Amino acid sequence: MKISVIGTGYVGLVSGTCFAEIGHTVTCIDIDKAKIEKLWNGESPIYEPGLNDLLTRNIKSERLKFSTGLESIKDSKSIFLAVGTPSGDDGSADLTYLFKAAEDVAKEISDDAIIVIKSTVPVGTCEKVRELVAKTTTKRFHIVNNPEFLKEGSAIEDFMRPDRVVIGHKDQYAADAMSELYEPLVKQGNPIYMMSNLSAEMTKYAANCFLATKISFINDIARLCDIVGADVNEVRKGISSDQRIGGHFLYPGPGYGGSCFPKDVKALLYTAKEYGTNLRIVEATEDVNDEQKLYMFDKMLKHYKGDLTGKTFALWGVAFKANTDDVRESPAIYTVSSLIDKGAKVTFFDPVAGENFLKVVGEKYRSSITEFNNKYDCLNGADALVTMTEWREFSFPDFDEIKSRLKHQVIFDARNLFKTQKVKEFGFDYYAIGKKI
């Protein structure tokens, strides 16, 4: 099948590349000329394990192409819209880019083109796109919702071996075409769920908000563990063995971040209010997460009796999670800004996210932050180590090395990476989230 993908961000680039990998002919389209040139050279603008290799292989096989123009749309049976839908100031999803993409695509399509909304969009967006396209073209077309369920850091695996594929449609022609498109990915029995466009839109938001709720739930439990003396790691094992609960997204930490959960939680809450109702559990999820971002910072304040002036804190990790260079809504941003506002300085090391982090922290804080290329070098002369991202290389460090580099033996472990007994054996003052220390 010939496919065009509008947008070469995280979702568009991964989807387009993976479609090419399973044999489809794909053109990824973006208005950013510099990004398109980089992609033609097999260089991904985002960090995602395995993506560069797939890019190179499929460019060489001529199944994957890139363009700043819309010429490929005329010959494409499916056109995927994978543009950003960022949060507005009121929490609503900004659909400006999506509507512009839909209008541009509508001018170029051939009869029976399938316009696939891959972007995460509020319930009811499909009908708005349908009306917009109908006003722009006289060609026959079909609108499909196909939400993505990719996890940053394992997106290739998630796409190639999906738990499920969700297709929102209004007619059998589109449903059959989407079944054909995804057939190579579901041969092992993973289901394709066909449903209405409205249900597909709701499914995406419901899934992300439920996962966000699991994170806030375990963080809430971790706080109570801190108070009563229980150990959240033991509690987690005790509840996650129940198949009705499971262990995914039940790891305490500094709160969720990234491009999806914060935005999608806000958008679903906004949609509920538009329809005159409230989602009280989702509201609580967001409230808990907002507090959790500074939970470890509060422990720092308490340890230093409220005075952080002149202190230096060395951060391991600034990405919102491991295996990505994405720093959007990263808890590290909130921790660093709070530290600097209290008169502290920050050093940090992150395997891939450093450049992106320095771009988003802003000039106000930039002069108080120093990046290092080695996890141990950033500790030199610092008053404390703070773990913010669960990169694998941080899990089993040389504690003698840490001890020799730090000015004072203090660790604030916002990811519960270290074994309490081992850290204490080395004489560190140790703070974690919900662990019995």
Residues with active-site annotation: 260
Distance between CA atoms of 37 and 67, rounded to whole angstroms?
A: 9
Distance between CA atoms of 178 and 181, rounded to whole angstroms?
A: 5
Distance between CA atoms of 123 and 129, rounded to whole angstroms?
A: 12
Cα dist from 159 to 51, 92, 155, whole Å: 12, 27, 6
Q: In sequence order, what are the residues at sequence separation of 6 or more whose Cβ sits closer than 8 angstroms to the Cβ of residue 218? A: 232, 236, 249, 250, 251, 252
Distance between CA atoms of 245 and 166, rounded to whole angstroms?
A: 23
Q: In sequence order, what are the residues at sequence separation of 6 or more whose Cβ sits closer than 8 angstroms to the Cβ of residue 134? A: none
5 — phi, psi (to 5°)?
Answer: -125, 120
CB 216 within 8 A of CB 288: yes
Kind of pairing between the strands at 345-349 and 410-413: unpaired
Count the helices and strands in the chain (H runs, E runs). 17, 14
Residues in the chain: 437
Distance between CA atoms of 417 and 433, rounded to whole angstroms?
A: 10
3-state helix, strand, coil in the chain (%, to 5): 45, 15, 40
Identify residue 158 by its one-letter amino acid code: D
Surface-to-core class of residue 127, CB atoms within 10 Å of its CB (0-12 exposed, 13-18 middle, 19+ buried): middle
SS3 348: strand
Q: In sequence order, what are the residues at sequence separation of 6 or more whose Cβ sits closer than 8 angstroms to the Cβ of residue 335? A: 254, 293, 294, 296, 297, 315, 386, 388, 414
Cα dist from 244 to 215, 234, 434, whole Å: 16, 18, 23
